[in-house]
Chains A and B, each alone.
Chain A
Amino acid sequence: EIVLTQSPGTLSLSPGERATLSCRASQSISNNYLAWYQQRPGQAPRVLIYGASSRATGIPDRFSGSGSGTDFTLTISRLEPEDFAVYYCQQYGGSLFTFGPGTKVDIK
């Protein structure tokens, strides 16, 4: 089973700043089957990025994903007030799915 580790656990930033979130896998993720989700309090998660770098429908271009193999990054270029939330990475490999523990982006 592939284990995902996310860092940092919490990121304290101000609106307008750049956020860089990391997701590291215990083994290489094939076909870049890595997705990122945003979860706001009291809401279901929503997909932001799939295939490591493809933005999902309706996602603003301030969100971008990069990486391959075992190291992946979600970047939010300029934080908007609605971006303060928890972010999870998720992988699909060998018919198993796992989520990372999440990174909370909160207001500094």
Chain B
Amino acid sequence: QVQLVQSGAEVKKPGASVKVSCRASGYSFNVYYIQWVRQAPGQGLEWMGRIFPKSGATLYAQKFQGRVTMTRDTSISTAYMELTSLTSDDTAVYYCARENWYFDVWGRGTLVTVSS
């Protein structure tokens, strides 16, 4: 079945970077956008950006411009989201989702905790 499997939880210190992976299976990875959305504890959903695996083209939310990089490895149907210069405000669950203009398949999320 169609699924997105994300990497495990991370604990990072302020100022560090984190790279979360999202492995797709059950469909043609190249032809659907992969989106990244985060959710801080007790808060709502925040769109971060997307990547088109076939071309590698990216689009980032303005808030994260300069701090986020989305990449992919089509040979293993995996997308990555790297966030740099982490602060405590980046503590959140990070989700990847397949986009069909709406987000029809979601990963289970990766908890990233930023703490000194």
Chain A positions within 8 Å of B, measured between CB atoms, are 33, 35, 37, 39, 44-47, 50-51, 56, 88, 90, 92, 95-102
Contacts and interface: CB of A to CB of B under 8 A. Distances in A.
B70 to A, nearest CB: 14
Contacts, number: 49
Interface residues of B: mostly helix, strand, loop or mixed? strand
Contact of A99 (B45, B100, B104, B108): B45
A74 B8 CA distance: 34
A44 B95 contact: yes
Interface residues of A: mostly helix, strand, loop or mixed? strand
A88 B43 CA distance: 12
Interface of B: 35, 37, 44-47, 50, 59, 61, 95, 100-104, 106-109
A33, A45, A88, A100 — most chain B CB neighbours (10 Å): A45
A47 B59 contact: no
B108 A44 contact: yes
A97 to B, nearest CB: 4
B100 to A, nearest CB: 8
Nearest to A50: B102
B44, B95, B102, B107 — most chain A CB neighbours (10 Å): B102
Given A37-B103, A45-B103, 5 more contacts: A33-B101, A44-B108, A45-B95, A45-B106, A97-B50
Contacts of A46: 106
B108 A88 contact: no
A97 B35 contact: yes
Nearest to B101: A92
B102 A47 contact: yes
A54 to B, nearest CB: 9
B103 A90 contact: yes
